[in-house]
Structure 1
Amino acid sequence: MEQQLQQGQELFGGAFSACLPPGSLDISEMRQVPDNQEAFAHPSTDQSVIIELLEYQASVPDENAARYHFEDIAGTSANTEILSQELFVTHLLALEGCSSAWHLTARQLVAKFNEEAKNEVTLHLALLRLPQYGTDLLLTFNNPTWIHPLSSSATHGTEVPPPHSQPPWTVEHFHTFVRSLRLLDPGIFG
């Protein structure tokens, strides 16, 4: 039943809808999230998916736009590596009017809560460009692949997962999320 409720999850006050990964928890119910973002967490891992409405970067060619937004997120950290970038086939997207779509995969060492211990996270970014609305839609799947033993995310072997815990999300869950995104109310763009 819970998965059915998330199949057509409304985003940004009903302006969009998308099929969220199973068991997604709305991060805005736990902490403040910027108005241009919707963020969801996995119930028992450190995985998350985020959708951001960003300003369309008209001076950045389509083939460089995903890298541009990734570098904006990553900053000047030397602990990042872009693993791949490929074109997303726009006719497979539910989002109408998308001029181009890109999927970028990167690896990053990041600390949680400004800790010294850094965890390895694989980021999957999908950039959907909507120049007619002056918007770049950035969808991100943060997938921790290695947790430092001193990180607050480490279980230190003392926690036993609940018997019916949600399995970790996969890249396929993320691709379903990206492909299912629909614009319901263009008025969100002003």
Structure 2
Amino acid sequence: MDTQRVAGNADESPLFGGALTAFIPHSATDVSDLREIPDNQEVFAHAHTDQSLIVELLEYQAHVADQDAARHHFEDTAGSNDASEPNAFEVTSVVPLSKSELCLSDCSSAWMLTGTQCVSKFNEEAKNTVTLRLGVFRLPQFSTDILITFNDPQSIDPGSSSAASAGTRGEPWTGQDFQRLLQTLTLHTPGLFG
């Protein structure tokens, strides 16, 4: 993908004050307009579904091999989601992303993982089955891993606070939307990483 062609695209949204840009799909609400979000995250929720996208700047995991980075972050996310007990999470695929198709081609490697987790929202008892797609961009020169997570609920427990949005699906985000976000992620200000 040609960086020059994509970088000025009107479909792209500024992230972290414009230090990064990427395609954010239709019907996205910036969650920071609704509640406080950590400084190392940009979080978007679908306006009509329970889907969400998170762009996170994380410390580079030097002890983790590139091909294991996505699985490492997926398992860390499972722990944060209280989904780390047996049968609560599963990895279905991990594939490398071709740097020739990425705007952020100065990463040492990039990976996409697809898996599922059984998670509850807001520490509720009810658990929802969520497909997670993770994109990991490894930037050792900046001591940073960029993690992009697409949460796509597949089965919502009737007792979950998410149940209200389950019937108002609207047009959901797709795997292609997520792929486009990964491909268009562009770094404009390396000072973002300190």
TM-score w.r.t. the length of structure 1 is 0.90
- Once the 2 structures are TM-superposed, how far is the Cα of residue 77 of structure 1 from its aligned partner? 3.2
1:21-61 per-residue CA deviation (whole Å, 9 max, x = no partner) reads: 11211010111111000010000111001110011111111
Query: Is residue 84 of structure 1 aligned with residue 93 of structure 2?
Result: yes
- Residue 60 of structure 1 aligns to which amino acid in structure 2? V
User: How far apart are the structure 2 equivalents of 1:45 and 1:30?
Assistant: 16
Aligned equivalent of 1:24: 28
User: How far apart are the structure 1 equivalents of 2:170 and 2:180?
Assistant: 17
- Residue 122 of structure 1 aligns to which amino acid in structure 2? T
CA contact 1:149–1:156 (8 Å) conserved in 2 = no
CA contact 1:102–1:127 (8 Å) conserved in 2 = yes
- Once the 2 structures are TM-superposed, how far is the Cα of residue 95 of structure 1 from its aligned partner? 0.8
User: How far apart are the structure 1 equivalents of 2:102 and 2:85?
Assistant: 32
- Residue 85 of structure 1 aligns to which amino acid in structure 2? V
CA contact 2:129–2:156 (8 Å) conserved in 1 = yes
Aligned equivalent of 2:136: 127
Aligned pairs for 1:27-176 (under 5 A) are 27-75=31-79, 76-78=84-86, 79-155=88-164, 161=168, 166-176=170-180
- Residue 26 of structure 1 aligns to which amino acid in structure 2? D
Unaligned 5+ runs, structure 1: none
How many residue pairs match? The answer is: 181
Where does structure 1 differ by over 2 angstroms across 4 or more consecutive aligned residues?
A: none
CA contact 1:124–1:142 (8 Å) conserved in 2 = yes
User: How far apart are the structure 1 equivalents of 2:173 and 2:113?
Assistant: 18
User: How far apart are the structure 1 equivalents of 2:33 and 2:116?
Assistant: 28
